Structure 1
Amino acid sequence: MAATLNLGDDFDTAITQQISAAINLALSNQNKTQSYKEWMSLGDAAKYLSVSRRTLNGFIAQGLKIVVIGGVKRVHKQDIDSFMIDHLV
C-alpha cells in the first residue's frame, strides 16, 4: 500500500537544498579527514585525534604503535584508527 503526499514545489525545493547542503558538508568533512598523510608526525597524529601530545603519549604507552627511525617518530593512520576502534566501550 503506497501513499502519495503532495506538499508543493516550494517544499520540494527547500528539501532538495537542505539535502544538497548536508551532502556538501559531509563531503567537506570527509576531505578534511582524508587530508592527513598515511604516516604522521606525533604532532599531526595528535591533531588528527583532537587530543594533546600528552594524551597521545598516553595512547602510545597503552599500545598505540609508532615507528622510530633515527629519532624520527611516525604513526601510521591505520594504526591510529585501529587503536581507537580497539578501545571502544
Structure 2
Amino acid sequence: MKLEVDLSPTIEQQLSEVAARVWRDVVKQEVVKQQLPEYMSLGECCEYLNISRSNLSEFIKLGLQVTIINQTKRIRKSDADLFMEENKN
C-alpha cells in the first residue's frame, strides 16, 4: 500500500522538526539506559523505565523483583525488562 500526501512547505517543515525532536529524545533515552548500572537504585530504575516513583512502587507490588541488602534496594535491569515484557498488553 502506498500513500502519497501533498503537504504545504510549512506543515512539512513542522513535521520534520517534530520527527527530529522525537528521534533526539529516543536516542538520548537509550544513551541514559546504557549508562545505568546492571543493579539500579530505585531512582535509576524510574529513569530507566521512564516512570514515576509511585508507579515503581505499584510495579514492585505486582511482582517486580527487588534485591535488598542492608536496607539498600536495587533492581536489576534484566528483571525490569522481564517485568515490562511479561506485563505488556
> What is the RMSD of the two structures over their aligned residues, measured on CA atoms?
2.0
SS in 2 for 1:44: helix
Matched to 2:57, the amino acid is N
What residue in structure 1 maps to residue 5 of structure 2? none
Instruction: State, as a whole percentage, how many aligned pairs show the same letter.
Output: 36
Matched to 1:42, the amino acid is L
What residue in structure 1 maps to residue 13 of structure 2? none
SS in 1 for 2:46: helix
When normalised by structure 1's length, the TM-score is 0.66
Q: Any stretches of 5+ residues in structure 2 without a counterpart?
A: 1-19
User: How far apart are residue 67 of structure 1 and its match?
Assistant: 0.4
Matched to 1:55, the amino acid is N
Q: Which has the larger displacement, 26-35 or 54-63?
A: 26-35
When normalised by structure 2's length, the TM-score is 0.66
1:77 and 1:68 map into 2 onto residues whose CA distance is 15
What residue in structure 2 maps to residue 69 of structure 1? 69
Of structures 1 and 2, the larger Rg is shown by 1
Q: Paired residues, what number?
A: 67
State whether residues 68 and 74 of structure 2, in contact with CA within 8 Å, keep that contact through their aligned partners in structure 1: yes
State whether residues 32 and 48 of structure 2, in contact with CA within 8 Å, keep that contact through their aligned partners in structure 1: no
Q: Any stretches of 5+ residues in structure 1 without a counterpart?
A: 1-20
